[in-house]
Structures are given as C-alpha cells and as structure tokens.
Amino acid sequence: MASSSLSKELHFLLIPLMSQSHIIPIIDFAKLLALHRVKISIITTPLNAQKYKSIVTHALKSNLNIQLIPIHFPSQEFGLPQGCENMDTLNSLQMFKNFLLASEMMQEPLEKLIQDMEPKPSCIISTSPLTWTQQVANKFNIPRYIFQTISCFTLYCSHMLNETKIQDTLVLDDDSFLIPNVPHKIEFTKAQLPQSTQDMKSLVDNMKKFQDLARGTLINTFEELEPWYVDSYKKVVNKVFCVGPVSLCNKGMDEIVDRGNKAYVDEDNSCLNWLDSMKPKSVIYACFGSLCQISLLQMKEIGLGLESSNVPFIWIIRGLNFTLEVEKWLRDENFEERVKGRGMIIRGWAPQVLILSHSSVGGFLTHCGWNSTLEGISRGVPMATFPMFAEQFYNEKFIVNILKTGVRVGVEVSTTSWNEEKSGVLISKDEVKKAIEELMDQGLEGEERRKIAKDLAHISKKAIQEEGSSYLNIKLLIEDVMHACTQK
C-alpha cells in the first residue's frame, strides 16, 4: 500500500467515454487503485450508473472506497434516441458525432459538481476521446491522466505511421507495407487500416493534440507482455504507467458475472453445467464484442463454420447482431436442434471472463477488441482472430505475429463497426471451420500455442499482485499524484 498518510486524502476522479469498452476497464482499474486506500469517484450517466451499480456494490463489500456519480446526458437534445446513454445503443455511424457532442455537454455540470466536492479531486483520469476533460483539469489546476483502452503496440505503431505517413503513398487496397522501425515484421495492407470518416479523423487529431497536455498515460497492459513497445512508447509521450490486465481484479464468481450488462445465466446455471460436462480445453468460445455489426450473410457463415468444425462451441449473439432476421434463420434452419449437445447459443450479454476461465474452454473466436484480447491472454486461451474495424487488425498482428498464440481466420478488409451491408461476407464457413480446427489441433504447433498462452496467463496474474509490475506502477501513479498535489 502507498505508505504516506497523504495517500488516504487523495481523491481520484475517473471519467470514461460512455461505452462498454471504456466503462468496464476503468471500473476494473478503479478497484485495483482503491486497494491502495484512496477515494475514487466515477462520473457516468443515470442509466449507466444503474447498469454498473452491482460492480460498485461488490467493491464496497470489500471496503473499497468507490462511488458512481451520475450526470445528465443530453441524448434527445442532440438527436439521439431517448435513453441512449451508451455507445453500445447506437445503430448508426451518423450518430457517433452527436454522441460525442452530447458527451461534451457534461462539462458544465461536472465543473459545478467539482466545486462542491469534498475532498476536492486530486486528479482526473479520463479515457482518450474525452479531450474536454483537459479543460476541466486546467480550470481546477489538477493533473489529468489519459486512460488508454488499447495496447502499447497499437499506440506505438500508430505513432510510427503518423510520423512517416507511409500509408499515404499507397494506392490500391491490397497494397502492403511494413511498419517502420519496429523489431518485428508487421505487415499491413491499405484495406486493413482503420477506415476513417471525417468526424473520426477530427477526433483522432484532437486526441493527439491533447495527449501532450496530459501529465501521464495509463495503459491497460503489462510490461512483460510487450516490453519493447512499452519502452518505445515511453519515449513518445509523458509518463507511461502500465496498469493491467485490469480484468484480473475480479476474483469471486459474483464479481465476474455482474461485470457488464445483465448476464444471460439461467437460474439453473445451464451454461456452466454444460461447460462442466465437456472435456478440458475442448470448447471454442465465439464472441464478437458489443459494437461489431455483422451482416446476416456473415452470421450464417460463422454459424455453419462452427457447426461443420465438429468442435463443441458456445456462440454469443449480442447487441446489433441479435436481429429478427438472424433469429428467423436459426429457427428455419433448425440450427440449435442440429447442434444440440455440442453447441450452445447465448442471446445477448454473457459473462465472458467467467466462460474464458472455465477449464473446458480451449479456444476463443474473437473480433480482437483489446479488452477481449487481454481477457483471452490473462486466462491462457489461444485465439482465432476475426478483426473487423478500429485497431482490431493491430491486435490480430500482435496475437498472431508477436505472441504466437493465435490463428488468423483470414479477414483482409477493415470496415466501420456499423457498415454491415457493404461488407456482406468477409469470411466463408470453410475458412471459419479451418481456423477453428487449426486452433484446436492437438499437434506440435497447437501444443506450443497452448504452452505460450498458459505462460502468459501466469505472468499476467503476477503483474497485478503485490510487488508485480502493474501493482508497482499504480503505486508510482499515486506517488505522482501526491507530488503534483504538493507542487500546487
């Protein structure tokens, strides 16, 4: 624990972008931070406060000083549907700009809140898209730290592309290039780079502008996972603190199940009972995140690929993909009856960490979001990679080329998260089947992947334990905040 009595007077104000992929890791980080006996307030909106209330309830039972503070989110004022307080509920890319503008309107009520707070916040920690929080920090003369929900590998490779502009020389979508000045052979095509709208480009430019104004950057990773890229990124920005994998803060069954949306777990625990009945490391877990919209045609290919692999599977169909058309196809094809006993479909949210932690799960078919990637790594599960948009292709390269714990399904084209019809079918059922069979193979290559994955899981757990690298980085962060307070 931080030894100085001053640490007990510190008050950390955490502000995530209202998206599942930002809120969950920042609450997990809050729990790790609160172990050092500091006060933490997490700014959110009324609906999100209700949604994540149970997580904080578990923290309070463990004597962790964490509270959620809701602030009005002006969704309807900015043309968003009533009750739209989380990016997971957007159904169109056109609404993204409106959502960010609505988020900016939280600045004034936040400032009023801070004026009345006791004790006053010692610092602000916000996720990178919320650049307006720097203005709040400046107004109250407190340091701001950025919480990054992507890896050092992605951050550094993106920095190198921004410096060299090598991608601007590409003409055709299948033109390829190597990331310059890195120790690994990391090859991209133009089509795999994140597709950027004008609104997204403006956001990214703004984030870069405000990066230099922050006192430091917190990253949900651990130093042993990507040492070269951590060291290199430390030379690019102010103070870097690797504080993950934050999901490992969840120890008990209740904590894991309540993490995120209301989980689909029957009262009779049919999901866990089904997993209990399977052989060790025999099941593939297929889940594609909360923002990936997949066309009906592609959903069919995924389902048929899972079926034809003859590997036991749990397939999560959630969010934008849980449509009437998908449900009709499942019913018309009698799909669930065909795979009965070998396959299970969960509609909606599922307790991903709990499932990945189960001894019968031997593979993870994933969209390669960083949260899911880290959860797979920290649970020692090899991955079949199916990236679609944003930084997911970076994560695929990291899993397959650097860690060597994954198998590519073979996606070659990046899309926007909401751009389903244009994408059609990215991958055939045969490619899905082939990747699953390769991932679950019992030969030498498969055994080597499983060994590396198991070793990484062991190292990740040590990182957040007392005197581990991430634990010590959180102590260094607290000391840095204390130093900033004494400087004031």
Alpha carbon distance 17, 28 (integer Å): 15
177: β partners: 188
DSSP conformation letters of 197-249? -HHHHHHHHHHHHHHTTSSEEEESS-TTTSHHHHHHHHTTSS-EEE---GGGG
Strands 66-70 and 240-242 come out as: unpaired
Q: What is the 3-state secondary structure (H, E, C) of 166-211?
A: HHHHCCCCCCEEECCCCCCCCEEEHHHCCCCCHHHHHHHHHHHHHH
pLDDT at position 197 is 60
**Which three-class secondary structure state does DSSP give residue 401?**
helix
Q: How far apart are the first and last CA of the chain?
A: 24
Q: Report residue 368 CA to chain centroid gap.
A: 9
pLDDT at position 230 is 98
Strands 187-189 and 176-178 come out as: antiparallel
**Sheet of strand 383-385: strand arrangement:** 343-347, 313-317, 283-287, 361-366, 383-385, 406-408
**Which three-class secondary structure state does DSSP give residue 338?**
helix
Alpha carbon distance 417, 407 (integer Å): 22
In angstroms and rounded to an integer, the radius of gyration of the C-alpha atoms of the chain is 22
In the 8-state DSSP scheme, what is residue 18?
Answer: S
171: number of Cβ within 10 Å: 6
Alpha carbon distance 118, 444 (integer Å): 59
| Torsion 309-387-101-129 (CA) sign | positive
**Sheet of strand 240-242: strand arrangement:** 66-70, 39-44, 11-15, 123-127, 144-148, 216-219, 240-242
DSSP conformation letters of 120-134? PPSEEEEETT-TTHH
The two structure tokens encoding residue 449: 């992947």
CA distances from 84 to 47, 88, 90 (A): 9, 9, 7
- CB 395, CB 405: distance < 8 Å: no
Alpha carbon distance 138, 13 (integer Å): 14
Over the chain (488 residues), the average pLDDT of each successive run of 10 is 61 96 95 95 95 85 92 92 88 81 95 94 96 96 96 96 88 89 94 72 76 94 98 95 95 68 56 92 93 86 95 89 88 94 90 94 97 97 94 96 97 69 75 97 93 98 97 98 88
Alpha carbon distance 42, 126 (integer Å): 10
Domain with CATH 3.40.50.2000 in the chain: 5-249+462-487, 253-460
Alpha carbon distance 142, 137 (integer Å): 5
**To 10 degrees, what angle do helices 227-234 and 152-164 make?**
50
Alpha helices in 264-379 (DSSP H): 270-276, 296-308, 324-332, 335-338, 352-356, 370-378
- Which class for 422: exposed (0-12), middle (13-18), buried (19 or more C-beta within 10 A)? exposed
User: Superfamily assignment of 253-460 in CATH?
Assistant: Glycogen Phosphorylase B; (3.40.50.2000)
- CB 4, CB 482: distance < 8 Å: yes
**Which three-class secondary structure state does DSSP give residue 406?**
strand
pLDDT at position 149 is 95
pTM of the model: 0.93
Total residues found in the chain within this entry: 488
CA distances from 476 to 36, 141, 481 (A): 11, 21, 9
pLDDT at position 266 is 47
**Which three-class secondary structure state does DSSP give residue 35?**
coil
Q: Which CATH class is domain 5-249+462-487?
A: alpha beta
